[in-house]
Amino acid sequence: MNELIFQERIDSERKIEPKDWMPDDYRKHLIRQISQHAHSEVIGMQPEGNWISRAPSLRAKMILLAKVQDEAGHGLYLYSACETLGISREELVNQLHQEKAKYSSIFNYPTLSWADMGAIGWLVDGAAIVNQVSLQRTSYGPYSRGMIKICKEESFHQRQGYEIMAEMAKGTSEQKEMAQDALNRFWWPSIMMFGPHDADSPRTGNAMKWKIKRQTNDELRQSFIDKTVHQAEIIGLTIPDPELKWNEERGHYDFGEMNWDEFWNVVNGNGPCNKQRLDHHKKAHEEGRWVREAAKSYAQKQLKK
Amino acid sequence: MTDNSTIWEVFIQSKNGLAHKHAGNVHADDKEMALQNARDLYTRRNEGSCIWVVKSEHIVSSESEDGEAFFDPSNDKMYRHPTFYSMPDGSKHI
């Protein structure tokens, strides 16, 4: 009975709020998806943080700092949304450290040159925006509101990345080469960010029925590719896919098959930086422990006064 | 701030003269820290001229829309709305 009322509510586009009845699997699916999203924002600070001290100008450094700070903020919006489902922040962080919760595999690739800051902003944030714009319409109220807030802030991220790529692409031949190399390395992992093909994505069914997801992995991926091809052409870079071709009939670009062995290999912990990313997060969390304890102790002393 | 610190709801006044509006929440151990965290998290782009923080546990909420008929008493009093009344033809400024 509850389940019927719940589905009716979903079907009529009304949002589900924290105190409303919801199926256990809906709650579980949301906790998994939102926490994975939150962890991705937080772990995503590392590959970019890597370049703050080596940014090529003061302007570039200030922008990168602001961007990394935004990612921390986005992580916090999402942890907040996730906590409304009855799981604590502490438990969420534990799940990350115990590798029970995942984060986006894209952040397990190294950032080898300054051009990678361009590629990440343009492609990785670009792909994330396509996903997040769609998720603004997700059925769970707190998640939807978080997405709206994030989308407002995110578009500067993509533009700053694209600006870096455009600048380098019209620079010296070495700079252009660096930009093309970054595109070559980040293209395939970026389009794999949308996850496996719909046919190989067992959870998509429920997520669509409950309107947690509003578009499938393949739809989102296509939308990202269609937007991005022209952007690459304008700045004179080549997307590293010989099969990429406009399909008049479909009204979309056709593209080559992704390397799913690589995808699963990275998801399962064997990417170039998986260990480094997680170790760094654990270390930072441990090293911040005394600050958290001091703050707590200070608050308790204030109460006694 | 330990891992199980208090949660505070954040309300932001976007401009002098307007009402404070709920923005989200933050974790913090005391009120100063709650204000500072709220500032850092919710007003990075000049979104606010004033912030309120209040411990989440102090918020009292009515049931959601599927709950008891909390708002029933206001349903049948259409005469509280100006459109309920018929005005003579040609009357102005009323």
Give the pLDDT of residue A224. 98
Of B24, B28, B66, the CB nearest to A77: B24
Please give the angle made by the CA atoms of A255, A151 and A263, to the nearest 5 degrees.
35
A8 touches chain B (CB under 8 A): no
Of B3, B40, B66, the CB nearest to A292: B3
pLDDT confidence tier of residue A212, bands split at 50, 70 and 90: very high
Q: How many CB atoms lie within 10 A of CB A206?
A: 14
B51 sits in which H/E element: strand B50-55
Alpha helices for A84-194 (secondary structure H): 89-97, 115-119, 125-135, 141-169, 173-192
Model pLDDT for residues A69-102, shown as the tens digit of each residue: 999 999 999 999 999 999 999 999 999 999 999 9
Give the integer Cα–Cα distance in Å for A95 and A37: 13
Would you call B66 and A20 a contact, using CB atoms and an 8 Å cutoff? yes
Cβ contacts (< 8 Å) between A20 and chain B: which residues?
Answer: 64, 66
Chain A closest-CA separation from residue B8 CA (Å): 11
A262 touches chain B (CB under 8 A): no
Of A70, A292, A302, the CB nearest to B30: A302
Cβ contacts (< 8 Å) between A88 and chain B: which residues?
Answer: 3-4
A77 touches chain B (CB under 8 A): yes
- ipTM value greater than 0.90: no
The values of phi and psi at residue A219, to 5°, are -65, -45
Of A66, A73, A292, the CB nearest to B2: A292
Give the integer Cα–Cα distance in Å for B19 and B14: 8
| Burial state string for A18-54 with b = 16 or more CB within 10 A and e = fewer than 16 | eebebeeebeebbbbbbbbbbbbbbbbbbbbeebbee
Q: How many CB atoms lie within 10 A of CB A80?
A: 22
Model pLDDT for residues A8-27, shown as the tens digit of each residue: 999 999 999 998 999 999 99
pLDDT confidence tier of residue A202, bands split at 50, 70 and 90: confident
